[in-house]
Amino acid sequence: ALPGFPRRLCLLGSTGSIGKNALRVAEGRPERFTVAALAGATNLALLAEQAARFRPARLCVLTPSGVDALAGMLPAGYAPDIVHGPEGYASLAADADSDVVLSAIVGAAGLMPTLAAARAGKLVALANKESLVLAGDLIRQACRESGAVILPVDSEHNALFQALGGPGLRELPHVATLVLTASGGPFRDKPAAFLQTVTREQALNHPNWSMGPKISVDSATLMNKGLEVIEACRLFGLPPERVEVVVHPQSIVHSLARYHDGSLLAHLGPPDMRVAIAYCLGYPRRTPLDLPAVDLVALGSLTFEAPRHDDFPCLSLARHSLSLGAWGPVALNAANETAVELFLAGRIAFLDIPRLVDFALTTQAGVYADDLDAILEIDRTTRRRVRERAEGGAPRG
């Protein structure tokens, strides 16, 4: 059952790109949304500012020292409960004083809080795609047992969810394929030789979306679309052959469902994450947003093209990882997160990212990843192996 209104929000990752947009959606709508809890990591100044404005009863930060520092930054007379670390995020996610949990921590760190929210029967607005890549089966099982409902914030999956008519997904048997659109990222039309010289700043400069650094790099390598193929398989229970990817540089068509009778149902909208966030937080009610209308005539044309698989191997690597069994996507994700961190730190080249992911998938013996401990172990081992490989000199293809 869906919670009523006003909904009490727990925003995990409130200081990030998605988190800030969620607060913009909630702001000034007390009849719909109140803020019960906010969680950030190390940007204490922004978290303190958000907390002072929305006055949630609970806050969470990454480290114990952050607790005292944050407390010292709050206005007099406001003394929320402040917790910290992985247990803190999970406890906020399961707290009885919230109805809707926005899972918007970046990376594998989002897994445990997402699982905690699913086990606690929450309405989960899921931005953290990595948690579905790591443990989609466990999360779905937790939802079945607790009655939790997952609504995808990721714009493509949100688009499909809207086109397919809600979480019941009654139409799925009639769907031939799901078609995920990809912007193509900042290097869509750059020659292959250019990719060898890509800098951090170039990779972070996305043409259509303003996002956190990790997903911006993922968009540039097309790993983001690879993770989204896996996310779609987990969310909609489809095999990867039934998830297509098409490059659509304008980012207006957010995805399509292709039916057996030839129909394609698409969702169109401005490239602004508040559309998907608002749809999830208020579901099934729509929350009006003050966004410029999509001007179709000004756009003139919408174009579509095939992804350049050879130049952006991460998309194929992600599909390949699914064929390896449950450990494949876990290793793929861990290798990618580690490689992206190294790239952002200036330690490896852009094209080392797919090389390191390929290394992780081809040199690891297949193992079972059917429970949480096994998943976390593969995640840890892969990170260590990728770091060692990168530090032992530039990896070779």
Task: Report the nearest approach of Mg ion to the CB of residue 227 (Å).
Answer: 9
Half-sphere exposure of 179 (CA within 13 A, CB side): 21
E runs forming strands in the chain? 7-12, 33-39, 58-61, 81-84, 100-103, 123-126, 149-152, 175-182, 243-247, 253-259, 264-268
CB of 228 to Mg ion, least distance (A): 6
Is the Cβ of residue 109 or residue 256 nearer to ligand NAD in the bound state? Answer: 109
Quote the least distance from Cβ 48 to ligand NAD, whole Å.
13
Using CB atoms, what's the residue nearest to Mg ion? 154
Q: How far is C-alpha 340 from the chain's CA centre?
A: 15
Chain-centroid distance of CA 272 in Å reads 15
Query: Contact positions toward Mg ion, by CB under 5 A?
Result: 154-156
Q: Are strands 123-126 and 149-152 parallel, antiparallel or unpaired?
A: parallel
In the complex with ligand NAD, the residue whose CB is nearer, 83 or 322, is 83
Nearest to 351 by CA among 185, 190, 192, 188: 192
Nearer to ligand NAD, 240 or 271 (CB): 271
CA distance 357 to 185: 19
- Shortest distance (Å) from residue 255 CB to Mg ion: 9
CA 189 to chain centre: 25
In the bound state with ligand NAD, the residue whose beta carbon lies nearer, of 125 and 138, is: 125
Tokens of 303: 């174009």
From the list ligand NAD, Mg ion, none, pick the one residue 131 interacts with, judged by a Cβ distance below 5 to 8 Å according to partner type. Answer: none
CA 291 vs CA 33, 316, 391: distances in Å: 19, 35, 46
Nearer to ligand NAD among residue 210 and residue 263 (C-beta): 210
Least Å distance, CB 336 to ligand NAD, is 11
Q: 40 is in the binding site of which of ligand NAD, Mg ion, none (Cβ under 5 to 8 A by kind)?
A: ligand NAD
Question: Contact positions toward ligand NAD, by CB under 6 A?
Answer: 13, 15-19, 40-41, 43, 62, 89, 104-106, 109-110, 127-130, 154, 209, 211-215, 273
Binding partner selected for residue 188 from ligand NAD, Mg ion, none, CB under the kind-specific 5 to 8 Å limit? none
